[in-house]
Structure 1
Amino acid sequence: SDQIPLNRLKVDYVLCYKYKKRRASKPRLSVTSNGSLPVPIPMPITGRWDSEAESGEAGAPAGDMEESKLSEEEKALMREEFESGLLEAGLQLERDKENEAKGQITGFIRLHIPWPILSREAELQKIKVAVKKKCELRKRTGTAGAWDSLVTKVNTPFQPDVPDFDVHKDSQTNLHFKTLKHPFIRDKLHLYDINSTETVFDNATRSRIVAEIISRTTCRHSCQTTGINSLLARGVYISAYPLHDGSFTRRGRRDQRNDRQLLHEEWANYGVMHKYQPVDLIRKYFGEQIGLYFAWLGVYTQLLIPPSVLGIIVFLYGIFTVDTNVPSQETCDDNLNITMCPLCDGVCDYWHLSTVCSLARASYLFDNGATVFFAIFMSLWAAWFLEHWKRRQMCLKYSWDLTSLEDEEEEMRPEYEEALQEKKAKVKAMSKKKVYKYIYLHVYLLQIHVSSLQH
C-alpha cells in the first residue's frame, strides 16, 4: 500500500467536513494537536467512501441547506476530486471519522507532506535554512562597549525569557556565533546544518507549505473553483487548520518548552505585560504577516506612553488652576446674578449662568492653556510615530528576509465571491424572463397584425 500510517508521521494540516451518517460507527478521537495524544486507527483512502456515498440519497438537514445549496452528493464529489488533486500533488492523506451529533458525522482528514515534496516546495519558495558555517559575534570595546553593557543591563528586566535560536554560545571558548542561512537547495544538502530531514523545517513552515499547496489545488470537473477557501465558502469543508505543538501548559523542565509554551508564558500572559514582545518567536510560530501586525501593535503601544504622561500632566494642571480661572470664577459666582436669555422661543424661560458652573469647571480640565502645547506635541508625535515604525518595519523585513517580497494584492473573499455568483445567476435568470416576455409580446403582436391583414 502506498498509504503510510500517519501515526508515525507529523500531521501538517487537517481538513474537517460533515456528512450524513447512514450506519453506526465507533466514535473516534479528535485531532487536536501534534502532541502525544493517542491516535485513532487509520482508515485508508481508496475510491469512494461507502457511508459518504450513501449520503446523497438522504440529503442534508435544513440548517446545512441554508448554509450551502449544494447537496450532500455534490459535496462528496467535490471532496473526492479535491482530495485526488492533493494526492496528485504528492501529499499523503488519512481519513478519520468523528463522533455523531444530530445525525451528522464530523470527519477529519490528516495531511502529511513527504520529504521530496517538502524539499521541492521549499526550494521553489526559497525558504532559508541554516548552513554549517557560523559567524562570530564580537562585542564592541571602549566607550561604545561600556554603553552597550549599560543598555543591556537596563533592558534585561524587560526582555522576554526566550532563547535566541540564531545565536549560539561555544561552551569551550565562551564565544558567541550567529547562524547563517541560505535559500534551500535540494542538491546541496551537505552545506546545510541538517541532522535529519524531519527536523529541517519546523511545524509552522511545513504547515505554510501545505497551506500553499491546498490553496492552489483546483476542482475542474465537479466545480470550477480553486483552493480550499472556495470550498470552505461553499460548505464542502467546514474548517481547515494546522495543529498546535502540543499543550500550552509546561510539564517538564524550563529548557524543554516548545514554541507554544514559550509564547504562552512569555507573551500571552498578564504577568509579562511589562516586557517586550518576542516578535521573532511570534513570526516563527504564526508567520510574517501576524508577526508584523503584533510588531506594529507593540511599537504603537510603546510610543503612546509619552502622550499619556503629557496628557496626565495637562489634566493635573487644569485641576490645580481651575480655581484661578477667571471665566470659571465668574460663571460660578452667585453674587454676580448673571441672567441669560432663553434658549428657545415661547417655551423656555430665562436662566442663571451659575447653573452651568460644574460644566464650566469640567470643561476647563480638558481645555486649558496647556492643551495648546499638548496639541502641538501630538502633531509632532504623529510624524515621529510614522517614521519610527517605518524604520522598525525595514529592520524587521531585513532580519526576516522580506525585502525582496512585494505586497500582494488583496484577494476576493470566497464568501463574497459565492454571494456574487448567486446574485449574477439571479440577474441572469431575471434577464432571461424579460427576454422571453419581449419575445412573447412580439409574437402576439405579429399574430394580431397577420390576423388583421387576413380580415
Structure 2
Amino acid sequence: MRRNDYYIPVSGEEKAADFGNTKDGGVSKYSKYDSIPLNSLKSDEAASSPKQGPTFQDGQRRVDYVLTYHVQKPQSVRRKTSRFADYRILRSLRRSLSTMRSGGTPPSKEDPEIAAHKHRLDYHEDDKRFRQTEFEDNLREVGLELEKDEGNKIPGIGFLKIHAPWNVLCREAEFMKLKMPTKKVYEVKQGSNVVERINLFIHKVTAPLHPKVEPNRPQNVKHLSHPFSREKQHLFDLSDRASFFDSKTRASIVYEVLKRTRCTKAKYTMGITSLLGNGVYTAAYPLHDGDVDGMGAEANDRKILYEEWASYSVFYKYQPIGLIRKYFGEKIGLYFAWLGVYTQMLIPAAIVGVIVFLYGCATVDNDIPSMEICDARNNITMCPLCDRACSYWKLKTACGTARASHLFDNPATVFFSIFMALWATMFMEHWKRRQMRLNYIWDLTGFEEEEDHHRAEYEIQVMQKTLKKQDMSPKDKKVKLTCTDRAPAYMMGLFIMLFMIGVTFAVVFGVILYRISIRAALHMSSNPTARSNIRATVKGTAAVINLVIIIIMDEVYGAVARWLTVLEVPKTDKSFEERLIIKTFVLKFANAFSPIVYLAFFRGRMVGRPGDYVYVIGSYRMEECAHAGCLMELCIQLCITMLGKQLIQNNLFEIGIPKIKKLIRRRKSDMDSQQQEDYNMTLERHEKDHFLGPFVGLSPEYMEMIIQFGMVTLFVASFPLAPLFALLNNIIEIRLDAKKFVTEVRRPIAARAKDIGTASGIIF
C-alpha cells in the first residue's frame, strides 16, 4: 500500500507534551514526521483548475519539485534521539562485559564493538532524519505544501513532492524580481514598407524550415513586461492563474526557497545544497511535463520539443529557441542559440572550402612543382632519410605526395585564409547582434546577475573552520575561506596542470620517436610492399596514435580539471563553472593542438644538413618534412583528429554510453525489453525521472565546440574541408544534444543569463 499523506506543522507544546508521555526507548507519535496528516488539504487556485502536469494524489495540486532520500528497511528499529541511542549502546556493552567477566557465554555471537559500530551508523541515519524533518517543517512554515511517497515501486527510495501555492509564488516572484507580462501590449514596428515586404517574402520562402511550435507569421504585438508586484496584481493578466506561472518558473521559485531555507537546530545552518552534499537527500529535480512517446501521450512542451527539435528527421529546420527557453531557461536557450548561429555561419565557410578543394583538383595537372617532381627525366637522387638503414632514393617516388599536397596547398589557399579571418570576425559580430536581440525578446535587458547561493562544499569547509575557532571574539564570528586557506589547493592545481601539460609534450615527443624508429624499421623490411608505402604508413599510423591518445587524455584531463576545481572550494556555482571551463580549456587545448602545432611550426626546422644532422636521445635523427613541406602531414593529422574526435568522442560516446548503461540496468533487473516497457508504463512521472541521468552542466558541450572552432579557424589553410566536416558534425550534434536534454537527462533548473559566460571570452 502506498503511503501518501499531507502534513501540517505541530506546535512545540503538543510535541513536548507527547514526548513527556513516552517511556524509555519509546517513540513520540509526532516523531516520524513532526506533523499531522491532513488528506483534505487543497490549494485555493488548484481546486478549480485543470490538470497541469504531474499532481499530488488529490489530482489538483501540481508537483513543482521533487526531493529523494533513502528509506530504511521496515524491520530496522529507528531511534529519534541521541540520548536513547547512546544509552542503548552503553547498556549493550556493559551487559556483554559483565557476562564475559562472570565466565558465561555472551548472549549474542556478535562482537560488542561491531554492534556499537552499527548503532553509530543508525545514529548517523537518525541525524540525517532529524535534519530532514526539521528542513521539511521549515518548508511548511514558509508556505510550501509537501507530500511523501515511501511505498513506491522503487525500493529503498522515498520521494518528497513539493507544491508551491499561489501566495508563495506571488511572494517569491516579487522577491526575485521576475518580469511577468502585463495586460498592456505595444506594437513592434517592422520598419519601412520595403523592409517589411522583404521580411515577409523571406519568411514565406523559409516557411518549411520553421518548426511547428509558434505562429508562422511574425508577431507585431508584444506584451509589456514588468517585475511582479503583489500590490499591483491588477496590472497583470490573472484570468488563468494555473498557467500564469509556467512549470519552469514554478520550479525556479521552489528551488530558490529550498536554497534559502535553513536547518538552524543542527551544528551549522544549511540549505538544500548542503543537505544534498551530506546525503540527507540523494537528489533534487523538477519534473518533466509528460511523456514523449506513445500515441496517447498528452500534448505538452516536452513532446513538442521531442517531435520538432530532438528528432533527426527535422535536421533541416530551425530550432524552436523560444520554446527551448520556455522549457529549459535562458542559459540553455542561449547555448543552443549560439550553436545554431555557429552552424549557420559554417555554411558559407564550408561552400568556399569545397570550392578551394575543387580548384586544387582541377589544377593539379598544371602544377609546375609537382610536374617537375613527377618527371622521370630529371632523375634527381635524394639523401637518405635515416642513418644506416635508409639508402638514397629518387625524387620521382614522391610524385603522389606532391600531387596530393597541391589539393590543399594552392593559390586559392591564400584567398581562403583571408576569407576565414574575415569570417571569424563576422561570426563574432553576428552573434553579438543575435544575443542582444534575444535579450530584448526575453526581457533580459535590465537583468543583473545576483550572487548565487553558496555551494555545499564551501559551507562544509566554513563549518569546519568555524569549529576550529570556537574561542574567537564576538567581532570575528563571521568566517569565510580566504586565499590563505586555498593556497595549498592553488599550488597543487598549478603544479598538476604544469605536470599534465608536460605529459602532453612527452606524448608528442614519443610519437616523434615512433615515426623515426618505424621509418627505419620499414626501410630494413624485406617486404617490398611495406618498403614502397613507407611515407603513407608512417603518416597514417602516427595520426591514428595521436587520435587515440587525444581521446584518452581528454577524459583524463576532464576528470583532473574537475578534481582540481573541487579542491579550490569555489564559493558559488558560477565561480565553480568559470574555473572548471578555464582549467579544462587549458588542458584540452594543449592535448588537442600540441601535435598540430609541432607539425605546423617546428617539424623540419631542426633537422640540420647532410654531414651535420641534429640527433635526439643519442642516435635518433630528427625527422624531415616531405619535399613539398609538412602541409600534407598537417592535413592528414587534422582530418583524422577532427573526424575521429567528432565521430568517436562527441557522437559515439554520447549515443553509445547511455545505451550501454540502459542495457546494464535492464540486465540487472532480469527483465526483457517488453517487461521493462510494461514496468515503465506503471511508473509515475517522478519515478520515471528518477531513472534519468543528472544534469552536469553545459561545460562539456561548450568545450567540444571551442576545440572544434579552434581547428576550423587556426589551421584551416592546411585543410579547407574542415568547415564542411564541422558543419556536418554540428547538424548531428544539435539533434543529439536536444534528444539528450529532452529524453535522457533530468530537467535542469532554469537559470537566467544574458550571455554564454566564460565561453564567450575564450572563443572571442
Which bracket does the TM-score occupy, shorter chain normalised?
A: 0.7 to 0.9
Q: What does residue 231 of structure 1 align with?
A: 275
Q: What does residue 15 of structure 1 align with?
A: 67
Q: Give, in whole Å, the separation in 1 of the partners of 2:452 and 2:373.
A: 57
Contact 1:166–1:178 under 8 Å retained in 2: no
**Larger fraction in strand:** 1
Q: What does residue 125 of structure 1 align with?
A: 176
Contact 2:268–2:463 under 8 Å retained in 1: no
Question: What is the TM-score with the length of structure 2 in the denominator?
Answer: 0.45
Q: How does 1:383-402 map to 2 (within 5 A)?
A: 383-402=425-444
Q: Give, in whole Å, the separation in 1 of the partners of 2:385 and 2:273.
A: 60
Contact 2:181–2:236 under 8 Å retained in 1: yes
- Percent of pairs with identical residues: 49
Which of 278, 282, 289 is the aligned partner of 2:331? 289
Q: How does 1:116-265 map to 2 (within 5 A)?
A: 116-135=167-186, 142-164=193-215, 177-224=221-268, 226-249=270-293, 251=295, 257-265=299-307
> Which digits, 9 at most, give the CA deviation of each residue in 1:338-395, with x for residues without a partner?
2211223333322222333332222222222111111111111111111111111111
Which of 265, 277, 280 is the aligned partner of 2:319? 277
Q: Give, in whole Å, the separation in 2 of the partners of 1:79 and 1:299.
A: 46
Q: Give, in whole Å, the separation in 2 of the partners of 1:417 and 1:310.
A: 54
Residue 128 of structure 2 is aligned to residue 75 of structure 1: yes
Q: What does residue 141 of structure 2 align with?
A: 88
Q: What does residue 173 of structure 1 align with?
A: none
Question: What is the TM-score with the length of structure 1 in the denominator?
Answer: 0.73
Q: What does residue 161 of structure 2 align with?
A: 110
> Which digits, 9 at most, give the CA deviation of each residue in 1:239-259, with x for residues without a partner?
111011111247479xx8321
SS of alignment partner, residue 405 of structure 1: coil
Q: Give, in whole Å, the separation in 2 of the partners of 1:187 and 1:248.
A: 40
Which of 327, 352, 372 is the aligned partner of 1:310? 352
> Which digits, 9 at most, give the CA deviation of each residue in 1:1-56, with x for residues without a partner?
645373230100000122331339xxxxxxxxxxxxxxxxxxxxxxxxx86969x9
Q: What does residue 677 of structure 2 align with?
A: none
Contact 1:78–1:219 under 8 Å retained in 2: yes
> Which digits, 9 at most, give the CA deviation of each residue in 1:83-104, with x for residues without a partner?
2332232211111115587xx6
Change (3 A) 1:327 1:206: same
Contact 1:93–1:109 under 8 Å retained in 2: yes
**Larger fraction in helix:** 2
Q: Tell me how far 1:227 sits from its aligned partner.
A: 3.0
Change (3 A) 1:358 1:410: farther
Contact 2:225–2:443 under 8 Å retained in 1: no
Q: Tell me how far 1:419 sits from its aligned partner.
A: 8.8
Q: Give, in whole Å, the separation in 2 of the partners of 1:400 and 1:235.
A: 37
Which amino acid letter does the alignment assign opposite residue 150 of structure 2? K
Which amino acid letter does the alignment assign opposite residue 204 of structure 1? K
Change (3 A) 1:361 1:191: same
Q: What does residue 341 of structure 2 align with?
A: 299
Residue 424 of structure 2 is aligned to residue 382 of structure 1: yes
Q: Tell me how far 1:405 sits from its aligned partner.
A: 2.1
SS of alignment partner, residue 184 of structure 2: strand
SS of alignment partner, residue 219 of structure 1: coil
Structure 1 unaligned blocks of 5 or more: 25-49, 58-64, 169-175, 429-455
Q: Tell me how far 1:167 sits from its aligned partner.
A: 8.4
Which amino acid letter does the alignment assign opposite residue 241 of structure 1? Y
Q: Tell me how far 1:121 sits from its aligned partner.
A: 0.6
SS of alignment partner, residue 199 of structure 1: helix
Q: Over aligned residues, Cα RMSD in angstroms? A: 3.7
Q: What does residue 358 of structure 1 align with?
A: 400
Which amino acid letter does the alignment assign opposite residue 271 of structure 2? G
Q: Tell me how far 1:177 sits from its aligned partner.
A: 4.6
SS of alignment partner, residue 223 of structure 2: strand
Structure 2 unaligned blocks of 5 or more: 1-6, 9-37, 43-55, 90-117, 468-484, 486-764
Q: What does residue 390 of structure 2 align with?
A: 348
